[in-house]
Amino acid sequence: MTTLLISHPSSLRHVTPPGHPERADRMRAVEQALEDERFALLQRVEAPEGTLAQVELCHPAAYAQAISEASPQEGLVQIDADTIMSPGTLAAVLHGVGGAVHAVDEVMSGRVSNAFSAMRPPGHHAESDKAMGFCFFNNAAIAARHAQKAHGAERVAIVDWDVHHGNGTQEIFWGDASVLYASTHEMPLYPGTGAPSERGEHGTIVNAPLRAGDGTDVFRDAFESAILPRLDDFRPDLVIVSAGFDAHWRDPLANINLKEADFAWATQKLMAIADRHAGGRLVSILEGGYDLEGLSKSTAAHVMALMRG
């Protein structure tokens, strides 16, 4: 069995202004890292373009249409203070959706062991009807709903270790007992959500915030004490990872001090959960990570762990 890597050139054509942290060079750094001979056994495919029907698994049709209609023919359009559309953005966003859905299809069908969708822009800040924090459509949430609708998954767990709380994923599944959302993140930090008291209507939201300056020990303790036991109790049919690498010590947008080995460790822990409860089924979706060296090395460690290397 193999690990599937999903990407698409459209990720390079989502243009942001000079100095913007969510830039095309992020994809170049990821691609270069995964060209190493250690990754020769990866199965590689280009993402299909997602459909508005797939987007509407988590977002109202009117919102999906509004994002589509906001796409400029030239220049840049500002959706909010830091979320920007260029002429290439819509295609990148839809291929991100398509990549997440394709990853679920391949993993749930048993054609691959697990999958990593390496696309930009990220998605976990996108709420059901609001683009924000560089995000337009919530790829991880769409992947979870697709697993349920198309493949009959009863319980899906989404684990988010991006340094910024995934407010969008939390909002989408706040009242849903069939999806567990668990997050480690720096707090206080953008977007301001993610307190432990935020538990959802059915207790299926698990927030384990970290403080500025925290590193390996506190992160691993939060995972082992707050998140992993809840995942075992939940017994997911599929594990989805919102894999942001901006908790790396080099990242300029936060103050957590993780190393590449921490992301590999967390990957292995989630793979063990998937092995126990979900037949090994795990889908990882790239979120943040804004220092190019930290992003490339952390991605390599994550994917090597997925390959059971």
- Cα gap 204→181, rounded to integer Å: 6
Least Cα distance to 143 among 132, 159, 131 occurs for: 159
Give the CA dihedral 210, 128, 143, 25, nearest 10 degrees: -70
- Cα gap 135→283, rounded to integer Å: 19
Side chain identity at residue 199, one-letter code: R
Q: Which of 8, 124, 125, 165 is catalytic?
A: 125
- Give yes or no: 125 in active site: yes
Give the CA dihedral 157, 198, 167, 124, nearest 10 degrees: -10
Q: What are the residue numbers of the active site? A: 125
